[in-house]
Structure 1
Amino acid sequence: MKIIIGRNMIRHSITWILAILPFFLSPGVLSQTVDLNNKRFDIPLVQEAPVIDGRISPGEWDRATIIEDLHETTPIEFSATEERTVFRVMYTEDALYVSAYVYDDPNQLTAAVLRNETSLRWEDRVGIIIDPFNNKRSGYQFLTNPNGVRHEAIYTSATSQSFDWATIWEADAEVVEDGWTAEMEIPFKSLTFDPQNDTWGVNFTRDQMSSQSAMAWYSYNAQTNPANSGEMSGLRNLNQGVGLDLIPSFSTDFRENHVAGSSDTELNPSFDLTYKLSSSLNLTMTWNTDFAATEIDDIQLDLDRFSTRLAEKRSFFLTDMDIFEFGSSVGRFNNSTQDPFNSRNIGLNNGTPVDLTGGAKLSGRVAGFDVGSLIIRQEEFNNIDPTNIYIGRVKRSILSQSELGAIFTEGDPASNDSSSTIGVDFTYRNTQLANNRSFVSNFWIQQSDNPGVDGNDSAWYLDFDYPSSDSWYISARVEEVEENFDPRLGFSNRSGARQYFATIGDNHILINNPLLQKISYSLSGIQYNYLDNGDLQNRNFYLNALTLESPGGDEFQFNISDQVQVLRPGERAPLAGLGVIIPPGEYEYTRYQLNLSSSESRPFSVSLDGTVGDYYSGRSWESEAGVNWKPNTNLSFDFSYEYTQYDMPGQTVDTRVVEFENVITFSPSLSIVNLIQYENVSDTIGFNSRLRWNLQSGQDIWFVLGHGMRDEDEDGDFTDLESTATFKIRYTLRY
């Protein structure tokens, strides 16, 4: 009976969606139009650079080109903006200069972030997007808020960006009586470009938290990225100097093992070099690569059937990594986990650092091709010989916005085996369809080559996406991973299966409603089948029954999922790390989720999430609570608590994860981040305190303290495991 109810739920959901779809497609939600054909301008060359102090001083910006014809992108695309924004842009032979006069009520500004390279998602902010190759596929974004905080990103594809990337540039801002002003300096030495191309893609953006609205100079389907941008011309005789960055660093690392009763101190000099072989081709070399002072990973219990992937946080692997991105996947429903290159396999063994002798990276664009080559020498550890690692990548722009590429990897950092993977990927993109719509499709195929394996070692993927921010949307994909596919330098958490996925949904924008700004709903289905006999591995019908967003950024969401899980003998079973035994077999169950969150643009915000329902042979209840408090620009507090209870036949177990973060910011360049993490599976608690003094862009001092403890007997009495202290200094010499 339970199975029938679950399937009826999905059937009724489809009927409900189809019944109300015409209402949400009513003319009231259609956006206005703006002529995008004239979004071009000439940028002037000036001889004297402005002082970057946040003040738009008289005379400094007189020759700059003025851009003020911004329109709203959300909630109603192409509608007139409520407040005026005036950008000015010009350049010297050394740098691009941008200023913004942002008209607003100073008492309504949201400017709680004071620390550089911190997310500005919930801040009033302005930004510029530049595409130096004007290829509609790559670029950079530079953002600042009323405190002059710097936050930058690199586009890993035409529509996806990584804020983990960092470069050298300057920004400052000042609050004035009728709003706030900002200034930016972006050195050409920090960018990769073609000196023969004097026309760059460009866009200007503004986000206003008091109205929860976004504005831009150019947009399409509410998207602002390199694929949707205007043009600026006249960038000639740009100076990148010698094109040489010398980056010496030194760290000292003290570790005390309280269990073994031993301690050790290491002194680690390190040296990085970046040289521009040309304006569009970079060579980066590293010796005795030092990852001291890198941010620690978030806790992940990894209790599911399939392992999870952790994010890369080490700066060497983040620089110019857009070149190495493979096989773009569509939208927020991406569920492909087959990647030929995962940099966390290098220099890490289950989260523990492994020394790197050094390496070299070549990245950039040559004769219309994006090229990337990475060579790393990993030192010996745990009876594994020193390993040479190589990654090669090439992409070619084809059609108006599409790409064709290939990748090759060689090396296995975790064993003495030889291993290689080869892949080809293709992305078709058209962001200029009628009715303000776009279409994206991705295809890739990979094959691994490992000792003792003969055949059944390939994987392929195909998807399409027809997105919309204010109307109906649809996407689908299929992926097949053969049982012996194993990219040793990449990531793969599932093999011997074929995946099918589809989603359809709608976003409805409400006009002049004081309570609601957006109503959304969607229905998704994902299914995996074993390749050997075609039997079901797992299936999940997921109904986002209702999502409500308020004009202030608050959100309510209700979801229902109807799942089937099939466990075979010998497969990794969920909850095995908790000592729970789930026998092989087929399990069908339904789960319900409720989520409430208030906008983080306020000084105090909360989020609550609860999921309940059957779970394999039992039931589970998952809950998560989060609190964010920013009393002023110098202090912030984040607290999260996750609790899950599993009621399984014959036993009840629970998991708890607690995180508390306190950030003390003295200025945009000086801050202390204190972090406490606890989880009850291993009964460990960790303390980490990280001071960073950013003397100026590219010059840093860190001091990091860490301490770990464990409750061995589960009696609430914690014993010391390890204490660490790290000091690191880095200096960039730019020529």
Structure 2
Amino acid sequence: MNKTFTIQTLCYAILLASSAISTPASAGDPSQFTVNIPTLSQGVEIDGDLSEPQWQQATTVQLNYETSPGENIPAPVSTDAKIFATETSLFVAFIAHDVDPSKIRANLRDRDNSWGDDQVGIKLDTFNNARLAYQFFINPYGVQNDSIENELTGEESDAWDGIWYSSGKLTDQGYQVEVELPLRLFNFDDNKDIQTWGIELVRFYPRNETHRISSHKIDRNVSCQLCQLGTATGLAGAQQGQDIQITPSVVGSRNSQRELNPNQPWEDEDNVEVGLDLRWGITPTTLLNATINPDFSQVEADSGQLDVNNNFALFYPEKRAFFLDNKDYFDTQLSLLHTRNISSPDYGVKLTSKTDDHTLAVLAANDEKTQFLVPGNLSSDVATIDEESYNLAARYRFDPSKELSFGGLVTAKQSENYHNYVASLDTKWQPTDQDTFTAQYVFSDTEYPEDFFQQFCNGDDCSTPPQDCELGNCDYNERVLRTKKQDNFSDNMYRVSYEHEKRNWRAFSRYESIGEDFRADLGFIERIDASKFVAGGNYYWYPTDSFFNKIEFGGDWDITHNQNNEKIEQEAEAAIRLNGGWQSYIASGFVHKDRVGRRQDSSSLAIDDNTTMYTLDLMWFYTNFVPIESLKLEFDMNYGDDIDYANDRPATLTMFNPGVEWKITESIILDVNHKYQALDVDEGRLFTANLTDLRLNWQITLNSFLRLTSVYTDIERDTDLYLHQSPNEQYQNLGNEILYGYKLNPQSVFYLGYSDGLIANDDIDSLTQKDKTYFMKVSYAWLL
């Protein structure tokens, strides 16, 4: 494969596959639960007041079952839901009764941040095929949480943000919530006279335990959750309407930077950007997103992470709105599309479509710079090429039945002297309610610039690592050898897995093989040149009338070799996990493994006779619990054997990570996490690292907030114990951000903020400000 292997060829193959014809699969079961949704001529005002006559004509449903921790037992409190539709909106109201309304947990929070409060909500599968479900939850003050549940990955993503309306209020008997869900939110077939959707109505009732209350029973002996939705019929004449959203934005910033050694004056750069986003529902099942000169600034700071004695690149989640809309349509079992690899686009376009059992998604964007992950089997890191790149991803999925699905994904990342093309096929088969088979095959073709490898070394001979290579985090020899390529190179990756899950036990196995020349530069595949086999299982108990309501014991065994069958790692782990009172989760385990250290001969990628195999024993413990309503405590700890990767020798790791979430008032919350990590070798303490992440949020109203973020890192090293390098004895970094925000909805926002960064090291004896930024953003979503 070479450059004649074009993006157009890949797209054409996908479009041919999408011409397959099938009978739509039905997943929701009327025997579980069924509700008929009447269509009325007029909606209601969303104000939390349920006195309008339309609510008297709505269908009323009772949420009678507790599905967790109780197993389909009578609900501890009564909840009534009312539901009706107009031709353009779905209206839902909840009347949540409480035996002691004074214990209702309700807080003013930003969107998607009120989990842990009392909540009511609805799950909707608009194609009724158990593939994707929209989820909408609301706390007693009307704070919104929305997400999408993806059956293929088994995950829920709150990254999606729809524009919908809610209001709530406390009452003498509990609380009530009123919701309007415009039909323009959904993909569905509005050519049908009567709709049939999958549905579940849910209430979360957090007290000593978090009770999940549902409109119907959930069978723990069935591994598929979306297969257990009930059905909603009706919505006669439902129309998505004219679904056009135009969102102009203006972003202004002043960024100031300076060199600190020696101290230099500030260099200021002012920037004003005008952008435009378009969201157009071409049909009720096809959505077009386009953006010109977009604002992709990170409004919210990433969570702090310690990057010390770690050979692999850190993962940061996507937060940008353009990439998040219908993101789930691109998902496969492997992380082949991680859009933070498109870091600075000028424009982008995305088309997503779902009709019955066919799903198609296409994304294209440029990038002012080319950024991607350089993987290996002992290390990985992020690399850049100073060229504009063009990026494309296309996904097709065919679901002939609720038990079987097939999919394909292609990605392409290309600049003048570089390209990476990836093509993948995947399948998922659930022959019974308990058994799941998955398989995926991926092929890649890549070309690097001739001098690309030199960014991982000093000088042409690459005899020493680059000066900015963080000690213990940069196996530069592997990266040089992986990137010193003269021509195109290609390879493949595949994974097969099987899982059997019943009420009381689960067994699983997985095998994957990744070639040494495989690359997925638009994804997040950090390990290559490896084959891994995993097998394990779990057993579950569900005690009643005791502090713990669920106990899980299990473990797994895995072994990893490179493609020359040289062993890299072998690991066995056993763990116990408990859920119980105080909304508690407790887990602890023991790990025994053999693991190689860094390579001794930098000119070879061999493992045998080129690395030392270390035997490591490690214990870990994690818990979180809510001792009182306003306080959530968290603690994570590791202690045991480790490897000093900077010096290739055995070490002892001590790590603990406490966290506190304190709801000071119903509108002010303080979230503090601290991570302490120390590594000891025979000669003494090699390093001590501390990271403190502090976030104070004041939710002034439902629409406005003030947020303060401060992330502090402090690393102390004993330089006499480093055998090959001379690191800083002291390193400190402090990043601060203060942000005011007003959100009319997720796309109509006003932000005003300030951020700065301070550092200290052996040459700068105290924290000194290195950069500072003032910024403002205004955007408004016009709904046509």
* Matching residue of 1:439: 435
* Matching residue of 1:459: 493
Deviations 1:598-631, CA, capped at 9 Å, x for gaps: 2287211222222211223121111111111102
Q: How does 1:580-619 map to 2 (within 5 A)?
A: 584-599=611-626, 602-616=629-643, 617-619=650-652
Taking structure 1 as the reference length, the TM-score comes to 0.86
Distance 1:386 1:629 in 2: 45
Q: How does 1:83-122 map to 2 (within 5 A)?
A: 83-122=77-116
- Shift in alpha-carbon separation, 1:263–1:128, aligned structure 2, 3 A: same
Structure 2 residue 571 is the aligned partner of structure 1 residue 540: yes
Distance 2:612 2:165 in 1: 59
Shift of 1:264: 1.0
Distance 1:590 1:272 in 2: 52
Q: Are the counterparts in 1 of residues 278 and 289 from structure 2 also a CA contact under 8 Å?
A: yes
* Matching residue of 2:400: 398
* Matching residue of 2:23: none
Deviations 1:121-174, CA, capped at 9 Å, x for gaps: 311111101111111111210000111101101233354221011010011111
* Matching residue of 1:162: 157
- Shift in alpha-carbon separation, 1:679–1:727, aligned structure 2, 3 A: same
- Shift in alpha-carbon separation, 1:108–1:516, aligned structure 2, 3 A: farther
Distance 2:422 2:623 in 1: 43
Shift of 1:246: 0.6
Q: How does 1:720-731 map to 2 (within 5 A)?
A: 720-731=769-780
Deviations 1:524-552, CA, capped at 9 Å, x for gaps: 222211221x22211221111x3333222
* Matching residue of 1:12: none
Letter in 1 for 2:53: G
* Matching residue of 1:498: 531
Match of 1:203 among 159, 183, 200: 200
Structure 2 residue 704 is the aligned partner of structure 1 residue 670: yes
Structure 2 residue 542 is the aligned partner of structure 1 residue 509: yes
Match of 1:684 among 730, 733, 738: 733
Shift of 1:293: 4.8
Match of 1:658 among 684, 692, 695: 692
Distance 1:518 1:584 in 2: 43
Letter in 2 for 1:559: G
Shift of 1:409: 0.9
SS in 1 for 2:354: strand
Distance 1:105 1:393 in 2: 50
SS in 1 for 2:599: coil
- Shift in alpha-carbon separation, 1:320–1:289, aligned structure 2, 3 A: same
Structure 2 residue 623 is the aligned partner of structure 1 residue 629: no
Mean Cα displacement is larger for which, 248-257 or 499-508? Answer: 499-508
Distance 2:696 2:601 in 1: 41
Identity score, percent: 20
Q: Are the counterparts in 2 of residues 156 and 321 from structure 1 also a CA contact under 8 Å?
A: no
Distance 1:715 1:560 in 2: 42
- Shift in alpha-carbon separation, 1:38–1:655, aligned structure 2, 3 A: closer
Q: How does 1:137-156 map to 2 (within 5 A)?
A: 137-156=131-150
Match of 1:292 among 288, 297, 318: 297
Deviations 1:187-215, CA, capped at 9 Å, x for gaps: 11121111134111111111110142111
Q: Are the counterparts in 2 of residues 622 and 642 from structure 1 also a CA contact under 8 Å?
A: yes
Q: Are the counterparts in 2 of residues 453 and 484 from structure 1 also a CA contact under 8 Å?
A: no
* Matching residue of 1:181: 176
Distance 2:498 2:594 in 1: 25
Structure 2 residue 240 is the aligned partner of structure 1 residue 234: no
* Matching residue of 2:213: 215
Match of 1:311 among 293, 317, 337: 317
Shift of 1:112: 4.3
Letter in 2 for 1:447: F
* Matching residue of 2:377: none
Structure 2 residue 675 is the aligned partner of structure 1 residue 648: no
**CA RMSD across the alignment:** 2.3
* Matching residue of 1:421: 422
* Matching residue of 1:335: none
Deviations 1:582-608, CA, capped at 9 Å, x for gaps: x93000021112334322872112222
Shift of 1:374: 0.8
Q: Are the counterparts in 2 of residues 401 and 429 from structure 1 also a CA contact under 8 Å?
A: yes
* Matching residue of 1:449: 445
Match of 1:269 among 260, 267, 274: 274
Deviations 1:677-733, CA, capped at 9 Å, x for gaps: 011245211001222101245421111210110013387611001111111011111
Deviations 1:364-405, CA, capped at 9 Å, x for gaps: 114631001111122358873322211111001123233210
Match of 1:75 among 69, 82, 95: 69
SS in 2 for 1:128: strand
Distance 1:47 1:373 in 2: 37
* Matching residue of 1:350: none
Structure 2 residue 550 is the aligned partner of structure 1 residue 518: yes
SS in 1 for 2:430: strand
Letter in 2 for 1:620: L
SS in 2 for 1:133: coil
Distance 1:325 1:362 in 2: 15
Distance 1:69 1:59 in 2: 23
Distance 1:589 1:642 in 2: 22
* Matching residue of 1:190: 185
Shift of 1:516: 2.4
Q: Are the counterparts in 1 of residues 120 and 138 from structure 2 also a CA contact under 8 Å?
A: yes
Letter in 2 for 1:397: D
- Tell me, which stretches of 5 or more residues in structure 1 are unaligned? 1-34, 328-337, 348-353, 573-582
Letter in 2 for 1:615: D
Q: Are the counterparts in 2 of residues 109 and 124 from structure 1 also a CA contact under 8 Å?
A: no
Q: Are the counterparts in 2 of residues 663 and 673 from structure 1 also a CA contact under 8 Å?
A: yes
SS in 2 for 1:667: coil
SS in 2 for 1:61: helix
Taking structure 2 as the reference length, the TM-score comes to 0.81
Distance 1:97 1:141 in 2: 14
Q: Are the counterparts in 1 of residues 249 and 780 from structure 2 also a CA contact under 8 Å?
A: yes
Distance 2:236 2:317 in 1: 38
SS in 2 for 1:62: helix
Shift of 1:491: 1.8
Q: Are the counterparts in 2 of residues 270 and 287 from structure 1 also a CA contact under 8 Å?
A: yes
Shift of 1:657: 1.0
Mean Cα displacement is larger for which, 248-257 or 587-596? Answer: 587-596
- Tell me, which stretches of 5 or more residues in structure 2 are unaligned? 1-28, 371-383, 448-485, 603-609, 644-649, 716-730
Match of 1:48 among 16, 21, 42: 42
